[in-house]
Amino acid sequence: MSKQQGRHFLNIPGPSPVPDRVLRAMDMPVIDHRSAEFAELGKQVFEGCQKIFKTKGPVIVFPSSGTGAWEAAIVNTLSPGDKVLMVETGHFATLWQQMAKRWGLDVEFLPGDWRHGASPTEIEEKLRGDKSHAIKAVMVVHNETSTGVTSRVGEIRAALDRVDHPALLLVDTISSLGSVDFKHDEWKVDVTVSCSQKGFMLPPGLGFNAVSDKARAASKTNKMPRSYWDWEEMLKPNANGFFPYTPATNLLYGLKEAISMMLEEGLDNVFARHKRLAAATRAAVTHWGLEVLCQEPEEYSPVLTAVLMPPGHNADEFRKVTLEKYNISLGSGLSKVAGKVFRIGHLGECNELTLLGALSGVEMGMTAAGVPHRAGGVDAAMKSLEDADKSNAPTHLKMVKP
């Protein structure tokens, strides 16, 4: 096979493309992880993470995947037999639920259609009926990577407050943190779970837990066994910039640089950019005559767009044609939606031109694969971006039609 020229378009919803600036930051000699130089790196990373999570509390960084961070959240706060409330928003919510069951938790799993986020109203009703406070935690996925649906965590917190329920709030922000606004302290989240390879724009390998005082108190009395994942064993050396075991040193160099990039752009600008690119993607999908999987506009994901294939056409066959002809990777449908949807990632290091290049690959791929569609989706996306640019321009620079 001949090698395709040009940079590969990685438009899956994570791992996201790693910026050259972050790659260069990681291209460093390994240093002594017990040295003063490393301690300074550690302190800078911990402080930077607090800004991204929007918390004044500790952010614990594990050498792990997001799945490890899921497990850390469970084993540090809950005990075997505890009842927890979870919501079926998609593939990853289902996997977290399966993990909770394996740890011996009594999971009430509210069914969902994979086209909507977690319902604050339904959660409130369940908690209002829990007069004995048997439910020890509410566990939700903020941005469901398999469906392109973002749940309204702030409203879920308000629901807990309205019924004055003491349950812990555990939130998976694996595909949202750094791309979608998230307020750990303001929303009184007890454990926020995340990882490195999405909004942080790093390779896989780091898992995060941001923890509240309430969560730390629970960790001192819960009965779940842990060793590697123990928060307190991490927090003691973290206070001086160190880890209890060998950390992923060069990923931490990259993390420091990625945080700098986000703060230089400004978090509000980062979030606005993701919303702008997501809207342009949906404009293209709608023009093509295809359907966005998410059905609630208020829950459209800024991170990715999941697209339903027309009847009689397989998403994986389309993805294969598009990869082979145009060197672009699109996300596959998972479990219940396997073969039925493809996912366009527009997170991390993505701007207007890289998005338009990706959408061009999708549109040409549909033609090559014989997928029925209306040509001109890229033009619709361009118009969406141009309109957003005009509306955000300073008054004295706004263009006036002749």
Residues that constitute the known binding site for substrate: 343
Q: Residues annotated in the binding site, as ranges?
A: 343
Q: How far apart are CA 143 and CA 109, in angstroms?
A: 17
Q: How far apart are CA 142 and CA 187, in angstroms?
A: 12
DSSP state of 300: B
**C-beta separation of 214 from 35 below 8 A:** no
Q: What is the DSSP string of 65-122?
A: -HHHHHHHHHHTT--TT-EEEEE--SHHHHHHHHHHHHTT-EEEEE---SSS---HHH
Q: What is the DSSP string of 179-247?
A: TS---TTTTT-SEEEEESSSTT---S-EEEEEE-HHHHHHHTT-----STT-HHHHHHHHTTT--SS--
Helices (H), 266-373: 267-288, 315-326, 352-369
Phi/psi class of residue 295: alpha, beta or left (left: φ > 0; alpha: ψ in -120 to 50)? alpha
Q: How far apart are CA 384 and CA 387, in angstroms?
A: 5
Q: How far apart are CA 20 and CA 13, in angstroms?
A: 19
Phi/psi class of residue 373: alpha, beta or left (left: φ > 0; alpha: ψ in -120 to 50)? beta
